[in-house]
Amino acid sequence: MNLKGQNVLITGAGGFIGSHLTESLVKAGAKVGVFVKYNSRSEYGMIEQLSNLIKSKINVIKGDLKDFESVNRAVEKTDVIFHLGAIISIPYSYENPSDVINTNVQGTLNVLNAARKNGGIKKIIHTSTSEVYGSANYVPIDEKHPLCAQSPYSASKIAADKISESYYRSFGLPIATIRPFNTYGPRQSARAVIPAIISQALVNKKIILGSLKPTRDFTYVKDTIKGFIKVAESENAIGEVVNIGSNFEISIGDLVSKISSILGIKINVIQDKGRVRPRNSEVNRLLCDNTKAKNILGWKPKVTLDEGLGLTIDWVKNNLDSFKKDIYNF
């Protein structure tokens, strides 16, 4: 399916990945509506950082994923839905599991029910996360790997994934599930480890982190966005779950060393026990098997970690005022 001219709705468009997807889809000629959580300040998250030209071409729809009526209005006359809307913070899910579960599970159910009610939906791209796998039983992790809820957040995403699968099987909704591994890049907040390391290092030459041992598979945001678009375009993706990751892992400790080398700064690392996940909740290893994405989508990552870190560092340097360096960002 060619997305040019299609009426596209993006939930979670105000987020890091959502804002990049919005920008790419507008440039691809789609008619883009963005669903953002209502607030009285009319703040649209990372959408605010897009160029005025891009912003002039999008339709901003305010509402709440937990409210079916606002979701239903947003879905009207839509051809393609990219469902990214979710609360994604794992530490926040320890503190407020009900909010995370209500948003991520009920919100997904509302999107699917609105799609059924309105009809005519050509494709729904549901966004999963590599966190649903938990610590790897084997590597690289393919789509057949068991799911393991090691945090309330991951449990909420497993539930949302399975509800989406059930709506494909039960009602024939044209759903494809994309499962990104640790996306990073410009516009990401210090809730995530890479901008947290960079922003702290630039200001203090020291960083406060949790565990340094876990490994992650980091994927630059432009590669992730190409994965979203490939999933939307491919008929082969309907009814499927597709991993999007680099097939390269690095420990958090080694990541600090790499960023230190690129910055040319010796970084003092302070480990904070308050930032360490509970022992049985820590995901110790994530390494993506992206064979399926290569085979059915023709997708593969193009940006190396060193290249992506360089681009991310440049962006953080130019946007340091947007980071709260002295607090723990959930």
CATH number of the structural domain spanning residue 41: 3.40.50.720
pLDDT at position 283: 93
Quick one: average pLDDT of 47-68?
96
Is 128 a domain residue?
yes
Question: Has residue 146 been placed in a domain?
Answer: yes
How remote is the C-alpha of 183 from its chain's centroid? 7
Give per-residue pLDDT as tens, 130-172: 999 999 999 999 999 999 999 999 999 999 999 999 999 999 9
Max Cα distance, the chain (Å)? 57
DSSP annotation string for 133-172: G-S-SSSSB-TTSPP---SHHHHHHHHHHHHHHHHHHHH-
Whether 306 is covered by a domain: the verdict is: no
Backbone angles phi, psi at 137, to 5 degrees: -80, -30
| Inside any domain, residue 31 | yes
Binned at pLDDT 50, 70 and 90, residue 324 comes out as low
DSSP string, 172-227: ---EEEEEE--EE-TT--TTSHHHHHHHHHHHHSEEEES-S--EE--EEHHHHHHH
pLDDT of residue 304: 98
Cis amide leading into 140 (omega within 30)? yes
Is residue 101 domain-resident? yes
3-state helix, strand, coil in the chain (%, to 5): 45, 15, 40
- Could you count the other beta carbons within 10 Å of the beta carbon of residue 168? 19
Q: Identify the pLDDT of residue 52.
A: 96
Quickly count: other Cβ atoms within 10 Å of residue 174's Cβ: 18
Average pLDDT over residues 194-223: 91
Whether 263 has a pLDDT exceeding 60, the answer reads: yes
Give me the number of domains the chain comprises.
1
pTM score: 0.95
Is the pLDDT reported for residue 325 higher than 70?
A: no
Q: Which of 308, 290, 287 is nearest to 299 (CA)?
A: 290
| CA 38 – CA 51 distance, rounded (Å) | 21
Indicate the pLDDT class of residue 329, thresholds 50, 70 and 90. low
Bridge pairing between strands 268-271 and 206-209: parallel
Percent of the chain predicted with pLDDT > 90? 84
Per residue in 18-52, pLDDT tens?
A: 999 999 999 999 999 999 998 878 788 999 999 99
Task: Please check whether residue 275 lies inside any domain of the structure.
Answer: no
157, part of any domain: yes
pLDDT score of 53: 97
The pLDDT value given to residue 328: 54
- d(CA 66, CA 58) in angstroms, rounded, equals 23
Lowest mean pLDDT among 11-25, 124-138, 200-214: 200-214
Across the chain, mean pLDDT equals 94
* Residue 89 vs residues 49, 183, 189, 265: alpha-carbon distances, Å: 22, 14, 11, 29
Segments forming the whole domain that contains residue 75:
7-184+219-244
pLDDT classification of 275: cutoffs 50, 70, 90: confident
Q: Give just the sign of the alpha carbon dihedral 313, 60, 21, 10.
A: positive
Any domain includes 20? yes
